């Protein structure tokens, strides 16, 4: 937690942030949290190595953990929102204990619950997800507010880490038009598995 009663809002446009993070990606498996992060990733690039979560609120970080453990040869990026990560505080402790070196959790933080009417979320009232992750034992944590830092973060995905990373990116509280990936969970699962060289399961 920060000592401040409220945190300043972000100004970065979320679609530009996500597009910049994914530009030129290689060897990067992407897991998206429920709602806006899935729309953002789909708008940037719909690919076989995107794993969209539709109805598992709070599950993105732990799905990413399982994937990182199963495929240590790949870098895993979880893109989630502040609302979903707030619902899954315990996942941060579990990830820290597991200590995968190939897992990056990026929280797109607009300080609002975008899927339920844009009510203010806890992160606008001083709850600091990067600090929570740091105290849990993540190897690297930070909060960023500039596109230069977003681009630098993209470069960090390619370098080895000593443990899991969590980065909060403060974005504007807007609600861009939805870019909807397939809602067919079996299709999404099977094309992701095929990308990794596995058969349909």
Yes or no: domain 14-195 corresponds to CATH 2.40.50.140 = no
How much is the pLDDT for 37?
94
Q: What are phi and psi of 75, to 5 degrees?
A: -95, 130
Query: Is residue 61 within 8 Å of residue 105, measured between CB atoms?
Result: yes
Q: Is the pLDDT of residue 83 over 80?
A: yes
Pairwise pLDDT comparison (183 vs 199), residue with the higher score:
183
For tokens 């402790």, the residue is: 93
What whole-number distance in Å separates Cα of residue 182 and Cα of residue 184? 5
What whole-number distance in Å separates Cα of residue 53 and Cα of residue 33? 6
**For 84-143, what is each residue's pLDDT tens digit?**
999 899 999 999 999 999 999 999 999 876 666 567 688 888 999 999 999 999 999 999
Question: Once rounded to an integer, what is the mean pLDDT over residues 58-70?
Answer: 96
Q: What angle do CA 25, 26, 30 make, to 5 degrees?
A: 65
């Amino acid at each position: 937690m920060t000592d401040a009663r409220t945190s300043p809002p972000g100004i970065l446009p979320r679609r530009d942030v996500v597009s910049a993070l994914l530009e030129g990606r290689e060897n990067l498996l992407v897991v998206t949290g429920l709602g806006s992060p899935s729309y953002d990733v789909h708008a940037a690039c719909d690919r076989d190595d995107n794993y969209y979560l539709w109805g598992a609120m709070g599950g993105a970080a732990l799905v990413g953990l399982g994937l990182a453990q199963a495929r240590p040869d790949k870098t895993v990026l979880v893109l989630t929102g502040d609302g979903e990560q707030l619902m899954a505080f315990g996942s941060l402790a579990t990830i820290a204990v597991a200590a995968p070196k190939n897992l990056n959790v990026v929280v797109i933080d607009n300080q609002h619950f975008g899927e339920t009417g844009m009510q203010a979320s806890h992160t606008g009232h001083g709850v600091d997800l990067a600090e929570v992750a740091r105290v849990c034992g993540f190897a690297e944590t930070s909060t960023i507010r500039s596109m230069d830092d977003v681009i630098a973060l993209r470069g960090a995905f390619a370098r080895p880490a000593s443990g899991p990373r969590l980065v909060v990116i403060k974005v504007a509280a807007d609600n861009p038009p939805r870019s909807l990936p397939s809602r067919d969970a079996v299709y999404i699962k099977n094309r992701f598995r095929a990308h990794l060289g596995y058969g349909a399961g």
